[in-house]
Amino acid sequence: MPLQVKNIILGLWLALAAIWLIGAFTTKPSVRRESTRSRLRVTALGALAVVIGFTKYFEFGWLARPFVPATRAVAYAGLALVFAGISFAVWARFYLGGNWSGVVTVKKDHNLVRQGPYAIVRHPIYSGLLLAILGSVVVYRELRGVIAVVLFLVMLRLKSLTEERFMTEKFGLEYRQYQQQVKALIPFIW
């Protein structure tokens, strides 16, 4: 796989981190926040996924075996997934505006966003991140990345369930109707 593709992917992830950091200064004040225990559980799963999928610690045996061939087509397909996923997450982040937070919260004057990417899935930031992680795993090609994707999926699902509970408590019937109309993470499927 071309080293250039790995560098571009790293640049895309760093750009996302910069957008998240800058965006953190434009959010509304929080009136409710997920528990520390909930946050630690989600953070631990994410950290475990990163360690398994993207560090040298698990780069051995069957975990290091490739699950896709080392071709330019595979590398560029993975890059396209990363680009599409990060773009979708950033689009959703901007659409969410001041309601956004890195942790599950209810903001002051929180409004239910149902337009743009939120008309496609209820958690488009999570969907975009999952797609970008999948693309990164395709580029790195190792089986351990598949484990990382599963861990990220569990992490994002747990986080989305907490968010769903907060939004149902805040918006009631309006949010339940939204749940019936729009899938959570994968359009038309889940």
- Tens digit of pLDDT for each residue in 83-132? 999 999 999 999 998 999 888 999 899 999 999 999 999 999 999 999 99
Q: What is the reported pLDDT for 190?
A: 63
Interval 43-54: pLDDT, tens: 999 999 999 998
Q: What is the reported pLDDT for 143?
A: 94
Record the tokens describing residue 98, joined without a space: 């001041």
What average pLDDT does range 58-71 have in this prediction? 90
Q: What is the reported pLDDT for 37?
A: 93
Q: Is the dihedral of CA 95, 98, 100, 105 positive or negative?
A: negative
Q: If you average pLDDT over every residue of the chain, what do you get?
A: 92
Q: How far apart are the C-alpha atoms of 67 and 69, rounded to whole Å?
A: 7
User: What percentage of residues in the chain have a pLDDT greater than 70?
Assistant: 98
Q: What is the reported pLDDT for 187?
A: 81
Q: How far apart are the C-alpha atoms of 145 and 135, rounded to whole Å?
A: 10
Q: What is the reported pLDDT for 1?
A: 52
Interval 148-169: pLDDT, tens: 999 999 999 999 999 999 999 9
Q: How far apart are the C-alpha atoms of 27 and 24, rounded to whole Å?
A: 6
100 backbone φψ class: left, alpha, beta (φ>0; ψ -120 to 50): beta
3-state SS, residue 33: strand
Distances (CA, A) of 74 to 62, 67, 69, 82, 150: 20, 11, 7, 12, 20
**Cβ contact 187:121 at 8 Å:** yes
What average pLDDT does range 58-75 have in this prediction? 91
Domains of the chain by range and CATH?
Answer: 3-13+34-181 (1.20.120.1630)
pTM over 0.75? The answer is yes
3-state SS, residue 90: helix
Q: What is the reported pLDDT for 189?
A: 76
Q: What is the reported pLDDT for 185?
A: 85
